[in-house]
């Protein structure tokens, strides 16, 4: 009986099937099954037909004729065969089963005979403990809150290690492929100030909030958010009340980046100081080596003044002077069906500070995945060799690395996690 199967359980079973050896090696069949399942989850199962599947899943074009091109019927037959084989082998102990009935394209989810026999009748839908990847805002906010608490713990542990006296640490150096970039921030320079963003948002209210906080909230009726009916939040939260927050949230990608950067500095005996953007003013930035992560700080626009080349503005990256092969605007990309982020961009700027020997390093992703990917790029010896060569080519003499520069980096994104990153373009910034 499918009525007792939650949406999360269905998504988990679909994930297990698509990650199995039978489907993971067949991207077209994976795309087919993922597409029809997603449409069924959204309540669009009655709209599925050969033309739509051929157009969306196989990119056959608007002139696709199912009568002349049997690709959808052939692939559906193969998917039914693979599903049968999967549940006879790797999925024989699975609590659920996915079927694609002959002559239809809407997948059917059912409980296995063993699971059905042991199931307890309940009016409450079961919730998968391994549920992940909800694209809806409330579930995302709650998940990010938990993640940030974990990251805060890891960061605290890292900073405690860094707090050891300098004489008790064994001096070390970064590889040459990284040292050229990070040299201004290493000993004997003072520990860099790393600034993480505090993005304002609406978070879910809880019983620990004050009456004043609750009074400033914005309530959304549960009946208007049926997408959450299969989540634990729907039952646990008495009300869907959202409250404004300026202090609770730090982007996950930037938080992971802070831990990664502090570990790198610690490995060579350098400390790092971390501060929230709302507690840092522009004057503090001017007098130190500073690494600014994530953008959206109240003073971040002042750092960009008089900087030619790439410019972060309103969620896109503008290219003031496009070179051959470059775009005038770089925008994030999304899957046309699931609306999940599939490509992000990040801007890296190494700028002069008030004192000649100091630097301000900005690492700004359009989304948090871009920031995380850019930080990982800047710690990757192979990738940094690529950046070094590009900067030398951009310098006037083609031999020296300009001390101040911009770099535009892009990354693929899958399931909200950055993937492969690469360099798009660089700009040398003339010394003032």
Q: What is the mean pLDDT of residues 60-75?
A: 87
For the segment 29-51, the average pLDDT, to the nearest whole number, is: 88
- Judge whether residue 216 has pLDDT over 50: yes
Contact 310, 299 (CB under 8 A): no
Extract long-range pairs of 121-130: CB within 8 Å, 24+ residues apart.
122/4, 124/235, 125/4, 125/5, 125/6, 125/229, 125/230, 126/4, 126/5, 126/6, 126/9, 127/6, 127/8, 127/9, 127/230, 127/231, 127/232, 128/6, 128/8, 128/9, 128/11, 128/12, 130/12
**Tens of pLDDT along 177-193?**
999 999 999 999 999 99
Residue 131 clears pLDDT 50, i.e. is over it: no
Which residue has tokens 């009748």? 121
CB burial of residue 400 (10 Å; 0-12, 13-18, 19+): exposed
Q: Tell me: the pLDDT tens digits for 297-354?
A: 554 555 554 456 898 877 889 998 899 999 999 999 998 888 889 999 999 999 888 8
- Percentage above 90 pLDDT, the chain: 39
- CB atoms inside a 10 Å sphere around CB 377: 24
List Cβ<8 Å contacts ≥24 apart for 167-170. 169/269, 170/269
Is residue 80's pLDDT more than 80? yes
Per-residue pLDDT, averaged over 408-421, amounts to: 93
Check pLDDT > 90 for residue 68: no
What pLDDT, on a 0 to 100 scale, did the predictor assign at position 129? 36
In sequence order, what are the residues at sequence separation of 6 or more whose Cβ sits closer than 8 angstroms to the Cβ of residue 70?
Answer: none
| pLDDT of 128 strictly over 50 | no
Phi-psi label, residue 216: left if phi above 0, alpha if psi -120 to 50, beta otherwise: alpha
Query: Region 139-151: what's the mean pLDDT?
Result: 55
Q: Are 307 and 294 contacting, i.e. CB atoms less than 8 angstroms apart?
A: no
Lowest mean pLDDT across 40-49, 52-61, 137-146, 291-300: 137-146
What does the pLDDT average to over 11-31?
A: 89
Q: How confident is the model at residue 121 (pLDDT cuts 50, 70, 90)?
A: very low
| pLDDT of res. 406 | 94
Q: What is the CA radius of gyration of the chain?
A: 26
Q: What is the pLDDT of residues 151-161, one digit of tens each?
A: 555 555 555 55
Residue given tokens 């770089």 in the structure block: 330
For residue 160, count CB atoms less than 10 angstroms from its CB and return exposed for 0-12, middle for 13-18, buried for 19 or more: exposed
293, pLDDT greater than 70: yes
* Sequence-separated contacts (24+) of 281-286 with Cβ below 8 Å: 284/193, 285/193, 285/195, 285/353, 285/360, 286/353, 286/354
| pLDDT value at residue 289 | 92
Give the start-to-end residue ranges of the domains of the chain.
Answer: 2-118, 171-199+250-428, 201-245
Is the CB of residue 114 less than 8 Å from the CB of residue 4? no
Closest C-alpha among 151, 155, 145 to residue 202: 145
**What tens digit of pLDDT does each residue of 373-413 get?**
999 999 999 999 999 999 999 998 999 999 999 999 999 99
pLDDT in tens, 85-116: 999 999 998 989 999 998 889 999 998 775 55
Residue 63: what pLDDT?
Answer: 84
- Tell me the per-residue pLDDT of 224-256, one tens digit each, with 9 for 90 and over: 887 777 777 777 777 889 888 766 666 789 999
Residue 167 has a pLDDT of 45
pLDDT at position 133, please?
39
pLDDT at 169 (0 to 100): 45
Q: What is the mean pLDDT of the chain?
A: 82
Burial 167-206, CB ≥16 within 10 A → b, else e: eebeeeebeebbeebbebbbbeeebbbbbbbbbeebbbbe
Higher per-residue confidence, 343 vs 294: 343
Is residue 147 scored above 80 in pLDDT? Answer: no
Please give the angle made by the CA atoms of 332, 337 and 339, to the nearest 5 degrees: 40
pLDDT at 166 over 50: no
Range in 7-11, 273-277, 280-284 with the lowest mean pLDDT: 280-284
């Amino acid at each position: 009986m499918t009525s007792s199967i939650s949406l999360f359980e269905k998504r988990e079973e679909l994930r297990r099937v698509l990650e199995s050896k039978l489907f993971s090696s067949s991207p077209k069949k994976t795309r087919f099954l993922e597409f029809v399942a997603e449409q069924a989850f959204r309540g669009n199962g009655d709209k599925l037909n050969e033309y739509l599947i051929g157009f969306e899943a196989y990119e056959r074009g608007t002139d696709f004729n199912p009568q002349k091109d049997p690709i959808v019927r052939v692939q559906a037959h193969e998917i039914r065969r693979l599903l049968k084989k999967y549940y006879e082998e790797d999925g024989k102990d699975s609590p659920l089963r996915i079927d694609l009935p002959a002559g239809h394209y809407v997948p059917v989810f059912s409980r296995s005979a063993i699971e059905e026999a042991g199931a307890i009748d309940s009016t409450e839908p079961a919730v998968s403990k391994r549920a992940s990847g909800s694209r809806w805002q409330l579930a995302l906010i709650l998940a990010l809150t938990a993640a940030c608490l974990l990251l805060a713990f890891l960061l605290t542990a890292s900073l405690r290690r860094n707090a050891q006296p300098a004489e008790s640490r064994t001096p070390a150096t970064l590889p040459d492929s990284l040292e050229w970039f990070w040299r201004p921030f290493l000993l004997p320079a003072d520990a860099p100030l790393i600034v993480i963003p505090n993005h304002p948002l609406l978070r879910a209210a809880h019983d620990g909030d004050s009456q004043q906080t609750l009074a400033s909230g914005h309530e959304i009726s549960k009946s208007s958010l049926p997408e959450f009916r299969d989540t634990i939040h729907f039952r646990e939260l008495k009300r869907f009340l959202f409250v404004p927050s300026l202090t609770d949230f730090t982007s996950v990608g930037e938080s992971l980046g802070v831990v990664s950067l502090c570990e790198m500095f610690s490995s060579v005996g350098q400390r790092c100081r971390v501060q929230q953007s709302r507690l840092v003013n522009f004057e503090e930035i001017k007098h130190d080596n500073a690494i600014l992560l994530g953008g959206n700080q109240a003073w971040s626009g002042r750092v960009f003044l008089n900087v030619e080349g790439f410019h972060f503005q309103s969620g896109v990256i503008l290219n003031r002077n496009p070179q051959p092969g470059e775009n005038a605007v770089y925008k994030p990309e999304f899957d046309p069906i699931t609306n999940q982020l599939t490509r992000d961009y990040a801007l890296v700027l190494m700028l002069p500070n008030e004192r000649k020997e100091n630097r301000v390093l900005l690492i700004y992703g359009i989304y948090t995945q871009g920031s995380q990917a850019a930080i990982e790029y800047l710690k990757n010896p192979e990738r940094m060799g690529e950046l070094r060569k590009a900067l030398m080519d951009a310098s006037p003499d083609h031999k020296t690395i300009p001390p101040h520069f911009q770099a535009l980096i892009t990354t693929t994104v899958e399931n909200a996690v950055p993937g492969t990153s690469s360099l798009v373009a660089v700009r040398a910034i003339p010394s003032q």
